[in-house]
Amino acid sequence: MAVGMIHPVDALGVEERIFTFKTFDDPAVQYDPAVLERAPWWNPAWDAENPPPFIVPLGASVWTYVTNGKGEVVRDKVKKIGTATAVAMLNDPTWTPYSTLVPFYFEAPLLKGKGQEPDGIIKASGYGLLTSSNTPEFGIMMMGFNLEILPDPVLGILGGSATSNSIFNFMGLPGYQTGSYWTVRVDLE
C-alpha cells in the first residue's frame, strides 16, 4: 500500500523553503538598536542603546554548515552569510527549567534563492523555553526557541516558523559561547 501526502501550502501554490544555519555571539558584531525597538514586546520608554538589565541584546555572526546523509554536522562554520541581531527579555529570576519562557525576537539574513548573498532579512518573534540552567555547570542556560516568522510582503514572505537548540552564557563563564542551531521554515509567495 502506498501513502501519499499533499502539503496544503504546496496545493495553494505557495513555496515552502527550509533553511538551517548557526548563529553565535560575536564581539565583533554590534547589535542594532533599531532591531530591539521592533520587538513586539519592546517598551518605547526603554533606551535601546542602554537597555534595562533584564533586556539582553545579542549581535551574532550567521553561518551555514554542511551535514552528512544522517543529518550530522560534518563541517561547522563553512560560510558566513551575514550578521544578526536578537533580543531576549530575562523576566524570571528563578530560572526554573521547563517553566521559564523567555520572550525573544531576531532579524537574520534570508537566502531565498541560490545566490551567494542574502535576499533580505527574516524577522521572527516568539519564546524560548529554558531546559537547564546548570548543565554543564551553573550559569550555562540551555533553551529551545519557537518563533513565528513574521510576514513581509516586499520579500514575498507569508510567514513560517523558526526553532532552535541554543546555549546562553550570560555570565561570561570561560569555555562556553552563546549560540544556536536554527531550522527555519518560510512560506513564500
pLDDT for position 4: 36
Distance (Å, whole) CA 89 – CA 95: 12
Distance (Å, whole) CA 147 – CA 37: 17
Mean pLDDT by 10 residues, the chain (189 residues): 42 77 92 97 97 95 75 69 92 84 91 62 95 87 96 92 93 90 90
pLDDT for position 188: 87
Rounded to two decimals, what is the model's pTM? 0.84
What would the grid cell of residue 46 be?
A: 526603554
pLDDT for position 1: 36
pLDDT for position 72: 72
pLDDT for position 178: 92
